[in-house]
Amino acid sequence: MPKDTFFNLPDDKRERIIEAAIDEFAQRSFHDARVTAITNQAEIAKGSFYQYFEDKKDLFKHIIEIAVGKKIEYVNQDMMQNMQDYGFFQLLRELYLSGVRFAKEHPRLVAIGMQLLSNQELYYEVFGTHAEKSYAFYEDLLRKGMADGELDPAIDIVLASRLLTMFNYALVDFVYEDGKVDLDDMAIIDKMLYIVENGIKRR
């Protein structure tokens, strides 16, 4: 968590530091990211950096907090109003669409998240609590689907919640590169949902 001195900075200076950090972490892995590059772009002294953050990881965690907060805003905007009216697979489609829209509008944050996924040790340290929230969200969604009679009650909810989370990352990786949400992206989401709903076994 950043120090109070960071939050006491003027908004424009705080934003410069955040933008510089996002640029650096989006281009390089956590271990290769350079504090010097961040301070140079943000136009602050390197010594000042340690008045605002304990270390590079402290800043990185703050950037992840920002990314998670923005993602939640998208999910809430797209899903909460439909929670009672939509069935499980409709809600899942809206959830995946909100993830794709977030990715296309915030490609640097997605790049940081993808790099984090490739570093399992750092992922569990930095993103562990957020991952648990994501799993819990899917678990609630799965329980609702079971209560509504849409889903097989024999499904392992814990395992399914983790698989659905990873499907979300897979969809983002497929479709965010061209910078816009379009019908092709919706087709990919629907193909993924077909597999989730029907499986891969020939019937």
pLDDT tens sequence across 180-201:
556 677 788 888 889 989 988 8
Read off the DSSP letter of residue 176.
G
Residue percentage of the chain with pLDDT more than 70: 90
| pLDDT at 14 exceeding the cut of 80 | yes
d(CA 79, CA 152): 23
pTM for this prediction = 0.79
**Mean pLDDT of all residues belonging to the chain:** 86
Q: Long-range contacts of range 194-203, CB-CB < 8 Å, 24 or more positions apart? A: 196/89, 196/92, 196/164, 196/167, 197/89
Other beta carbons less than 10 A from residue 177's beta carbon: 11
Q: Taking the domains of the chain in order of start, what are their residue ranges? A: 1-54, 64-198
CATH architecture type of domain 1-54: Orthogonal Bundle (1.10)
What residues have CB less than 8 Å from 94, skipping those under 6 apart? 78, 79, 82, 86
The correct answer on CATH 1.20.1250.20 for the domain covering 64-198 is no
